[in-house]
Amino acid sequence: QENVVEVIIPCSGSKYESDNKHYRGTAVGVSEDMNMAKKIALRSANTNLATDMSVQITQVAEDYSGQTVRWTNSNYRAKFQDNSQSVVDQSVNSSRTICERMTLDKSTGKYTVYISREASSKEVFTRLNESLSNDEEIRVNYDYEKFKETFEKVMEQRKNE
């Protein structure tokens, strides 16, 4: 098959996927304007990173809630979700770029930017713990050890995926 060629995509592959130690978000941006291509890729990578974190934190919250009585209280659940969203936002803002590549298609004049960003799951847990510990309503029934154990269990499952 002489018309078939392998396509190598920058900033992709297993080393750019989330695992039990890091949340990662990867994306591509295309534009005739170089800076716009980068902005598109960066925004999309951050969105992917935030989505990954949110999904995992929701899983942790659900698993943890199965062990606590207060989770049935909708106000408690809403406060937990607010705290989680704040942590996700902070973590995305402090995430780092681990790969960035740019290409220019001379035939179209379009730039393509590939970006991969990451945040440490340990830092996310620390932020989440601080946020939950500082909320008076949540703190009443918050069990640090149980929450940490649940978080680590969910993160460990990622290693086996």
Sequence-ordered alpha helix ranges (H) in 2-160 = 34-65, 74-93, 121-133, 136-139, 144-159
Residue 51 DSSP SS3: helix
In tens, the pLDDT along 37-83 reads 999 999 999 999 999 999 999 888 888 877 665 556 677 778 888 88
What pLDDT was estimated at residue 73? 65
Instruction: Say if CB 128 and CB 27 are below 8 A apart.
Output: no
**Per-residue pLDDT tens for 4-41?**
988 889 999 999 999 999 999 999 999 999 999 999 99
Please choose, from the candidates 51, 12, 8, 20, the residue with its C-alpha nearest in 3D space to the C-alpha of residue 161: 20
Ramachandran region, residue 70 (left: φ > 0; alpha: ψ -120 to 50; beta: rest) = alpha
